[in-house]
Structure formats: structure tokens, C-alpha cells
Amino acid sequence: MKKTAIVHPFFFSIFPVLFYISYNLNETYLSEITLVLLLTLTLPILLFFTSKLVYKESTKAGIIASLTLIMFFSFGHIFGTVRNLQILHMRIIIFFGMIIILFSCAYLIKKSKKNFNELTKTLNRISILLVLISILNIGIHLYRTLDAIKKNNDKELLLNPTEASPSKRDIYYIILDTYARNNTLKQTFGFDNTKFTDSLTKKGFYISNKSRSNFAITYLSIASSLNMQCINDINENEATEALYYKSKVVTFLKSESYKFILLYSGMGLTSYNKYADITFKSRTFLNIFKYNLLNTTILEPLIAKLINLENIKRSIILNSIYNLAEIPKIEGPKFILAHILCPHEPFIFGPNGESVQQNVNESISKQKEQYINQLIFLNKKISEVIDTILSKSKVTPIIILQGDHGTCTSFPNTKDWSNPTDNNLKERMRIFNAYLLPDGGDKLLYDSITPVNSFRLIFNYYFKTHYP
């Protein structure tokens, strides 16, 4: 009988990675995907040849290799499904349960006289099908991307652009995630933020004291800002892709010979963009993408013990602020997009930058205190980096400091926003919003400006466009 090629261990090894990537494409770099897949492919090779030493037969070795891989990559998913049952030592129970199943199957297969040729064919078909489904999902994602770009370009609103001034200013768009407006900080948190906003005013910033977000969720808020339009008429995927790839702001500034510089945020949407000329990546080898992928494997207990995700997030935030100070060294006009996931939870910074541990079961009052402590630290770092940018820039840059949305401490359940009250909405929609628009640009600003109009105003004043 002709033996069937044994390919299923290799397909079972890359399927979990492709599956994860297909649902987290915005979080990954091509170089990372390639490296992770190459490392993953070493597993079936090692398992197959190790099993062959024991079984002396390829079909049996292949089956055990695949079974081991399936268990290796499913541990985190199983634990994630049942962890809310709060059973004591759940990780240990699942781990040893898998070991017992694996060794039982290994023993039965070794004792069996069957050739397992038909089972090999079935496993080949299943593994190939799973990989093809993931590739199809990736293909659908790319198709939606191209479709969103086409729709976004079809809706172009730019009217009669003219040449920009020879002295083009750098444009910094710094999004401070969940940074609430001063009156919210005073009323809801009992914190007076005027020391920080007054210091910005002295640096030349205009503070929009009645500003609010156009949307209550990050991906919609930033997508609308970067496309200079409300996006109620497109669905979630289209809104995501419009931001993720080719926004109107980036398209216009690239046409004006600007370099698009992106700072890795740790959040999918604003961590990678193929249109960026320069991307400041995370300095940590184990970033959030790799951490989350490893958490789906049997290494999850080890990862939980040895690696602190909050330390990775601390590093990303601090690196972003550090990189902002380095950008003036880059020659030529630049558009900088920096989405800093702070003062957004987790609350991992004390008021002086010290590392703190957030307990998810903390009371609302304690969470408010931690939010303010983190905000105090962020204020210090942002104030320092603004001073550095201004001192190092040859021409005074345009700087937007803006919250993507406000806080949500007044919601009875932060996961259920189906019936928000007026107070809920006020807290969520009121945002911190500050602009440095040199040489008279600030004269066009007004207290109630919303982010969707930021770049319309900037382009009209500095680039002589005609946005309504």
C-alpha cells in the first residue's frame, strides 16, 4: 500500500499562529509573523523525529506529534474558557489532564498493530482545511482594506489644494488615551488639573475647555479625526481599515512631501501602518502580540509566573514618550502619530512614575485615585517632552494633545453601555484637547472644537485648503 505523505504536524503547528494573526492583523508586523512562523515550524520537526525514535514508524510518530501540538496550542484557550469557574488549581488540573491523555494515547498507538494510513489522510485534510480557512480570513481582511481605501478615496473632500509654505512645520498628533476634560477631572475625580493646562498655555497652547469627542470608542474616534469626517455611514471594519491604512490626513500630508512617522502603541490600530515611512517599534522582544500568542499555549502558566504584561505596557508607554523627544532629529517635514495608552488603565504608574500593581477588583474610588496618580505622572512626562520638542525643532511645530474619549467611572457596568444617562455621556465624551498652532493659527480655534475638525482647521490655515 502506498504510504500517505505526513504533513499534518506542520499544518497543525502553523494553524494556531495563522488563526491568531487572522483576528489580530492590525497588531502584527510582517517581520514578526515570519519569525514566529519559522520558530513554530521547528516544533513539528523536533516532535516528529523524537517520536520516530520511539515508534520507529512515521505514521505513528506523525500522529503523536500532531496530538502534542494540538494540546500545546490549546491549553491557553481551554484555561481561558473555564477560568471563571474559580476552581482551585485549575491550571494544574488542565495540565496534568492533558499529560494523562497524551501518554494514554501514546501508549495505545504504540501497542496498536494498525498502520494508521487512513487516519493520517484525515488529519492531513483537517489540518490543511484549518490553515486554508485562516488564510481566507486574512484574504477577506485585505479585501476589506482595499475596499475601505477605495471608499475613503471616493469620499475625498479636499478642495483646490495649493502649495504649502516652503517652511513646512512638523505636525505632532499625540493622542492621550482616556484623558478627560478639566471639568470632569474636577467634578468626577476631585482633581484640579489647571496647573498642567496653565503650563501648556504659557508654552503657547490653546486649551479647548468645552471640547468633546465625536465618538466614545477609540477606533471610531481616531478614525474620524484622521479622516476629518464623522463616519456613522460606514461599518466597524471599514472604519478600522480607513484608519489602519490610508486616512485623508496621511494621504494629504504625503502629497505635501511629509514623512509619516508612527509610534508603536501596543494597541492594534495604532501599532502598525504599511504607509508609515518610519515606525518606532517596541523595544521589548516580547511585545503584546507575542505575549498574547504565548498565552494560548501550554507555556501560559510559565508566562503568568515569569512575565508581567504590565511591565511590557509600561515599557511601551515610556518608549513612546522617549521617541517623541528624538523625532526633531529627523530631517524634513514630518507628521507624527503617537497614540499613548495612558492615562487609560491598567493603572501601572504612580504619580512619580513608580511601578504600581492594579487590582481589577479595586473599588471605584480607589480606581479614581489610581487614574489621577497615573495622569499626574503623564502630565510630567508630556510637559518634559513638549519642552524638548520645542527646543530641538528648527521651526515651531504644530502640536495636538488630545484625548480620544473620556472616562467611564459613572457607568454602573463598564461593559454595558446600552442605556447611558446624560451624566454617563458627559463623562465619556468630554475630552482634554490642546493645540499649539503657531503664527496665528490659534485664532481660528474655539472652545467647543471637536477632533473631527482639527485637521480641517490646520490644513485651511497652513496649507490654504478650503474645508468647510
- CA–CA separation, 48 and 57 (whole Å): 10
Contact yes or no for 240/142 (Cβ under 8 A)? no
Residue 290 has a pLDDT of 75
Q: What is the pLDDT of residue 162?
A: 45
Give the model confidence (pLDDT) of 218-252 as tens digits. Answer: 888 998 999 998 876 555 555 556 566 678 999 99
261, 266, 267, 271: CA torsion to nearest 10: 30
Q: What is the pLDDT of residue 29?
A: 60
Range among 3-12, 23-32, 412-421 rated most confident? 3-12
Average pLDDT for residues 116-120, to the nearest whole number?
89
Q: Is the pLDDT of residue 164 over 50?
A: no
Residue-wise over 294-333: b if at least 16 C-beta within 10 A, else e? bbbbbebeebeeeeebeebbbbbbbbbbebbbebbeeeeb
Q: What is the mean pLDDT of residues 381-410?
A: 95
Whole-angstrom Cα Rg for the chain: 26
Closest CA to 248 of 166, 330, 161: 161
Mark out the alpha helices in 29-116 (DSSP H runs): 30-55, 58-82, 90-111
pLDDT for 284: 63
- C-beta separation of 22 from 137 below 8 A: yes
Confidence band, pLDDT 50/70/90 cuts, at residue 23: confident
pLDDT-derived band at 283 (thresholds 50, 70, 90) equals: low
Q: Is the pLDDT of residue 333 over 60?
A: yes
What was the pLDDT predicted at 167? 61
CB-side neighbour CA atoms (13 Å) of 230: 7
Burial of 150 (0-12, 13-18, 19+ CB in 10 A): exposed
Here the cell at position 133 is 480557512
Give dist(CA 116, CA 58) in Å, integer. 10
| Residue 142, number of CB atoms within 10 A of its CB | 12
- Please tell me the predicted confidence (pLDDT) of residue 309: 77
C-alpha to C-alpha distance for 182 and 184, rounded to whole angstroms? 5
**What Å distances lie between residue 222 and 82, 229, 382, CA to CA?**
35, 11, 20
Ramachandran sector of residue 118 (left: φ over 0; alpha: ψ -120 to 50; beta: rest)? alpha
Instruction: Locate all alpha helices (DSSP H) within 260-411, ordered by sequence.
Output: 288-294, 300-306, 309-326, 364-392
Looking at residue 82, its amino acid is V
Q: Mind listing the pLDDT tens digit for each residue in 346-366?
A: 999 999 999 887 776 678 888
114 or 399, higher pLDDT? 399
Residue 357 to residue 363: CA distance in whole angstroms: 14
SS3 of residue 180 by DSSP: strand
pLDDT at 298: 85
**433, pLDDT greater than 80:** yes
Which strand (E) or helix (H) includes residue 178?
Answer: none
Tell me what pLDDT residue 159 has.
43
CA distance 259 to 465: 20
Q: How far apart are CA 49 and CA 62, in angstroms?
A: 9
Q: pLDDT confidence of 138, banded at 50, 70, 90? A: confident
Name the β-bridge partners of 335.
Answer: 171, 260
Read off the amino acid at residue 131: V
**What phi and psi values does residue 173 have, to the nearest 5 degrees?**
-110, 100
The pLDDT of residue 455 is above 80: yes
Percent of the chain predicted with pLDDT > 90: 48
Mean per-residue pLDDT over the chain, rounded: 85
From 383, 374, 341, 371, select the one nearest 355 (Cα to Cα).
Answer: 374
C-alpha closest to that of 43 among 18, 20, 9? 9
The DSSP letter of residue 84 is G
Q: Is the pLDDT score of 201 beyond 60? A: yes
pLDDT digits (tens, 9 = 90+) for 369-385: 999 999 999 999 999 99
Burial letters 54-68, b for 16+ CB under 10 A, else e: ebeebbbbbbbbbbb
DSSP three-state, residue 466: coil
pLDDT of residue 310: 83
Backbone angles phi, psi at 217, to 5 degrees: -125, 145
Main-chain dihedrals φ then ψ at residue 142, nearest 5 degrees: -65, -35
The whole-number average pLDDT for the span 45-61 is 87
| Better-scored residue on pLDDT, 267 or 18 | 18
Which letter does DSSP use for residue 268 in this model? G
- Residue 286 pLDDT > 90: no
pLDDT of 83 > 50? The answer is: yes
Specify the DSSP class assigned to residue 164. Answer: P
**Distance, CA of 13 to chain centre:** 25
Residue 458 or residue 219, greater confidence: 458
Higher confidence at residue 172 or residue 144? 172
Provide the pLDDT confidence category of residue 158 given band limits of 50, 70 and 90: very low
**Residue 260 host element (H or E):** strand 259-263
Distances (CA, A) of 181 to 116, 192, 202, 370: 66, 11, 19, 17
